[in-house]
Chain A
Amino acid sequence: MRRIMVGVKRVVDYNVRIRVKPDNTGVITEGVKMSINPFDEIALEQALRIKEQGLADEVLAVSIGPGDTQQQLRTALAMGADRAILVQTDAAVAPLTIAKILQKIAEAEQPFLTLLGKQAIDDDNGQTAQMLAALLDRPQAMSCSKVDITDGKATVTREVDSGLETLEVDLPAVLSVDLRLNEPRYVKLPDIMKAKKKPLDIKTVADYGVTEGAAFKTVKVDPPPSRQKGIIVKDVAELVGVLKQKGLI
């Protein structure tokens, strides 16, 4: 079975304007729309396209999170994933622990390719894919904007600060994906119905024998400092005047 594993994280929806809790312990997530992390959606789309090209037999979507994460995994199944695993926990799980759980799943499921988003848009850590590759002692390519699979190898183009970088990696490998890799498909109603019948296994962290090590402590969460209200100038002459006065030109 040629399998692709895709990581799916449940996060506060991209369009929600987030607010910090008054007691500074975190951000408000109650009553807020939750979605698949947009980068993970792109990872899933890529996995589906590779399968549709006849280069894979199965797409497995995996998530670690609270019980409600089933909603996001059902969306992943409706998009076209064949089955899903939810490792259910209500605890905040550190990136290394996530990577260790994914490692155990990868060792059991033996995917030839693992695709993850380059970062989750909630904690913005951007660590899991690299850590998983390290733990599996496999190649990594981060922030991919192009992925070609041929003859047991992947040729990937990565978005780097200086432009684009192309790497060739032996499979199995772990890739993280960037925004420009693809445009994820929309889910159609019949697919949502079909997805209800697809297998979704619920596991616990203990099932994988992974224990959380010394944890990071959240001291506090603050709103960002706000900028002072600026001025509106009426024309170019006034703009140039202000810029000169500030010594900026």
Chain B
Amino acid sequence: MSKILIIAEHDGGKLNASTAKSVTCAARIAGATIDVAVLAADAAAIAAEAAALAGVSKVLVVENPANKEPLAAVLAPQIAKLAAGYTHVFGPSTTFGKDVMPRVAALLGVSQVSDIMAVDGSHTFKRPIYAGNAILTVEAPAGAPVVATVRVASFEAAAAGGSASIEKVDTGAALPSHTRFVSRSGASTGRPDLQSAAKVVSGGRALGSAENFKLIYSLADKLGAAVGASRAAVDAGYVPNDLQVGQTGKIIAPQVYFAIGISGAIQHMTGIKDARTIVAINKDGEAPIFESADIGLVGDLFTIVPELEKALG
């Protein structure tokens, strides 16, 4: 019988959608009981959201001013204490989960299953290796806790409609003071979130400048889409790093992905493998992006993008 604890990701006030996706992954394990742990300074609103996720039995709340910012060194010892009695501890494979979960795994004396993309059994999972160019089916040893991160692009969010109980917990873990939060910068753009958007418009090196990237923003706004970029566009300074889609950026699964002026390097394609429909616009008809695109249009993006925007009314 699997008893799974999911570590909630949140911004201090709201639950991140990655948590509901992790719940869906956990629910693929037959007969699992699923609890969610919320570690925060002020957890009430976040815990209420977690309790409303279908399939969740119980929400464990650990409130502590030290949990205001998600510092792995502070959170991990508390999570390790909470893990007692659970067969599995899952977190999302976002920068939050990638930071904290391996630290939890080490404290529990196990290696981690990184980036679960499919569940084959209580201890058997599929995960991408070599930037998604191979899929590993791995079996974690029985009798030890399974610590894992969940590739959020591979799972739909669990629906609302649950009514889990909420329980306050004091872990008694000793917390270090050697790591201090200084600041966080990140634009609130008013656009849909890249990680969870149904539509994404991405631009690549062919845009040529930050100024020209306005074409991408403009088309995205017309479509109600999030904006993404290839690594080349980020490295060239056209857009900030948090827009990067690909192996070392965000791995996303929108309904439709527009790759504009993106050649389609393997590392980029890794980030959009789960996109439902890929639309490629590129002047080079031989670009690798056309091998993976569902719909391709060969031509100059500087003509096509404004024309497309106009055609959308």
Interface residue ranges, A against B (CB under 8 Å): 12, 17-18, 20, 27, 94-97, 99, 121-135, 137-143, 145, 155, 158-170, 173, 178-180, 213-224, 227-228, 230-237, 239-240, 242-243, 246, 248-249
Contact = CB atoms under 8 A, between A and B. Distances in A.
B129 A123 contact: yes
21 contacts: A121-B130, A124-B130, A125-B114, A127-B105, A132-B106, A135-B106, A140-B99, A142-B95, A145-B241, A159-B242, A161-B195, A163-B241, A169-B178, A180-B241, A216-B111, A219-B120, A221-B134, A223-B133, A230-B293, A236-B297, A243-B256
Interface string B91-111: 000111011111101110111
Contacts of A236: 297, 304, 307-308, 311
**Majority secondary structure of chain A interface residues (helix, strand, loop or mixed):** mixed
A165 B184 contact: yes
**Majority secondary structure of chain B interface residues (helix, strand, loop or mixed):** mixed
A164 B184 contact: yes
Contacts of A17: 133, 266
Interface centre among B95, B223, B307, B308 (most CB of A within 10 A): B95
Contact of B134 (A20, A132, A169, A216): A20
B242 A224 contact: no
Interface in B141-190: 141, 143-144, 176, 178-187
Closest 10 A/B residue pairs (Cβ): A163-B186, A214-B141, A130-B102, A134-B106, A131-B106, A127-B102, A219-B137, A162-B186, A166-B182, A230-B294
B33 interface: no
Given A131-B106, A217-B139, A162 B184 contact: yes
A213 B235 contact: no
Given A219-B139, A243-B256, A166 B183 contact: yes
Interface string B286-306: 000010111111110000100
A240 B110 CA distance: 51
A244 B114 CA distance: 38
Q: Size band of the B side of the interface?
A: 35 or more
B273 interface: yes
Contact of A231 (B96, B176, B199, B294): B294
B109 A161 contact: no
A77 B271 CA distance: 34
Contacts of A217: 138-139, 141
Interface string B18-43: 00000000000000000000000000
A246 B277 contact: yes
B255 interface: yes
Nearest to B243: A163
Given A142-B95, A224-B135, A233-B295, 17 more contacts: A123-B136, A125-B112, A127-B112, A131-B105, A132-B106, A143-B99, A160-B96, A160-B184, A160-B186, A161-B96, A161-B242, A162-B186, A219-B139, A223-B135, A224-B132, A236-B304, A240-B312
